[in-house]
Chain A
Amino acid sequence: MSKESSDNGNWKNWLSRQWAKIVTNRKLLPVLLVIGLLLSFAIPQFGLLNQYIVLILIYVGINIILSTSLNLVNGYMGEFSVGHAGFMAVGAYISAILTTKIIPDSLAPWLFPLVVFAGGTGAALIGLMVAIPSFKTRGDYLAIVTLAFLMIVKSLIENIEVIGGPRGIPGITRLTTLPWTFIWVVIAVWVIRNFVYSKFGRGVLSIREDEIASDLMSVNSRQVKMLTFVISSFFAGVAGALFAHILQFISPRVFDIIKSTDILIMVYLGGIGSIAGSILGALIFTILLEVLRPLGMWRMVLMPLVLVVLMIYRPRGIMGLREFRWFVPGYDLIATNLWRKKKEAKDVSTS
């Protein structure tokens, strides 16, 4: 009995040691990325997984881009934007107009990365406009501004006949593939991580903690807010472009407040102020919804209950304000230790 339990304990210890080794081994990360990229090509090429699962994987990827980018504004900066679906709509419409009306079909697959980039850029420009009210308004009132923005975007699209008005744009070519999704996810996560671990990212955090103190500590909060909104909306636009080219049909109704709510849930489920959390939130949300599909309509009754219970026990989400080591730049992890070692060396040499 006692032997058995100690064996069990050893085994657990061994496992946790191995796990610690894996997560601290940073050389593994590029290896995994290459394997991931190869897999993303191989899976559709050789039919390793069925079409349905590939589709789910693409949605997971798009949702990761959405939740990570929204986390920048809602989690890291501590605002409450409900307008993410609006930026998504801008990206989706710009890209869909490009591929259905302007770029010839034969060229479209080759130009797709540029099309997605254009969608993101358009959304980023709009994001810059939304950043301006954020200079003066905070909290609930900024939430209203983003809501109004979402409604205005939706209403404008409904009223422009050239782009299909309320009927939307049908017949979009399916250009979003697994490799493209993977690449865009990596770009989004990498760029957002880089931003977070820079002076601007620390500025974002300080605005969340105490905006007045942050300003008085020389942080240029306007610059920081503009950058944050631009990056966040750029990737929302990217996700929208990818989304349009997998759904193959977009209309204003696709990008309503319910879509924004879904993204909000992913962010707060996974955890605010955490990239790992956003990825986890998108994964759990997307996969859980599919796994629970047999429950039929009860699935959407169960999901919000899970969320409510989670909020009670973990008000900041699963990973709230914590980060998985792989997403922290190497230098940031060891900066204090490096300094200590250098200082010790200096102390020794002087004494």
Chain B
Amino acid sequence: MFLQAKGVTHYFGGLCAVSDFNLNLKPNELIGIIGPNGAGKTTIFNLITGVYKATKGSITIDGIELVGKTPNQITGLGIARTFQNIRLFKDLTVLDNVRIANYSQSKYNPIEALFHTGRYDGEERRIANHAMDLLAVFKLQDYADEASKNLPYGLQRRLEIARALATHPKILLLDEPAAGMNPNEIGQLMEFIGWIRKEFGLTVILIEHQMRLVMGICERIKVLDFGATLAEGLPVEIQNNPKVMEAYLGEGGDL
């Protein structure tokens, strides 16, 4: 199994944010996690990426245990993510935002960095070119020298995905990528996610509130409510699941 979570449980103080979360992710899959606000969706991302340490349970990638590893180690193992509220390095240029994500890919040591000798030159060139190529894929190359905070909102979202991809991930976690977008933009985003998935050979986990997006592109959906897994299955199954409707719309609701 590729990415596997077994019985992952997390408490904030006495509050159970995630309870007994299980996941078996196959390569190249695209799955969605949905659920009402506060259901623990982002917490799951934080547990996978090592921002929080799971109270109980285990998360493995290719059999390597992730619980207890630091975020940068986990990113090094091939998991990258974006954030619900954009977290770019605001004062830095677009190019630097992407180059920073190349940290573990740049192969030179501190001594070479201090004296700009050895592998420094070649690696810097390689990284800059790689970063520019990646920006070009996202049609951001013309903004390379611009401070990232000056980009319009939509481009900032795109830059965040570009930055995540610069870490050379196998798995990409997208946290509400459609937040703040209009229906037209959501349509473009759906195509875009499908395209990068193919282009970069990615496995994607998506957290989203926009049902159109989730139902449209996800192959499998997990529904969370109050930290517990409420339902799991194909989009059609989820749409017709009475428990899900109840969680979203109250009893007697209709999705």
Contact = CB atoms under 8 A, between A and B. Distances in A.
Interface of A: 191, 194-195, 198-203, 205-206, 209-210, 212-221, 227, 231, 321, 329, 331-332, 335-336, 339-340, 342-343
B239 interface: no
A225 to B, nearest CB: 12
Contacts of A200: 110, 113
Interface residues of B, number: 49
Highest count of chain B CB atoms <10 Å: which of A194, A216, A331: A216
A216 B81 contact: yes
B96 interface: yes
Nearest to A200: B113
A324 B253 CA distance: 63
B75 A218 contact: yes
A194 B99 contact: no
Nearest to B148: A209
B141 to A, nearest CB: 8
B144 A199 contact: no
Among A205, A209, A218, A329, chain B packs the most CB atoms within 10 A around the CB of A218
A4 B91 CA distance: 43
A343 B136 contact: yes
Interface of B: 49, 51, 70-72, 75-76, 80-81, 83, 87-92, 95-96, 99-106, 108, 110, 113-116, 120-121, 123-125, 127-129, 132, 136, 141, 144-145, 163-164, 166-167
A195 to B, nearest CB: 6
A199 B108 CA distance: 9
Contacts of A336: 95, 128, 132, 141, 144-145
A335 B135 CA distance: 13
B100 A206 contact: yes
Contact of B113 (A198, A206, A321, A339): A198
B90 A218 contact: no
A215 B71 contact: yes
Most chain B CB atoms below 10 A, which of A205, A210, A217, A342: A217
9 contacts: A202-B92, A210-B89, A214-B100, A216-B51, A216-B80, A218-B167, A221-B72, A329-B116, A331-B124
A244 to B, nearest CB: 25
A205 to B, nearest CB: 6
Nearest to A343: B136
A194 B100 contact: no
A215 B72 contact: yes
A218 B76 contact: yes
A332 B116 CA distance: 13
Contacts of A329: 116
A209 B92 contact: yes
Contacts of B90: 209-210
A180 to B, nearest CB: 20
Given A214-B89, A217-B103, A218-B75, 9 more contacts: A199-B123, A202-B100, A210-B90, A216-B49, A216-B72, A218-B76, A336-B145, A339-B129, A339-B141
B75 A216 contact: yes
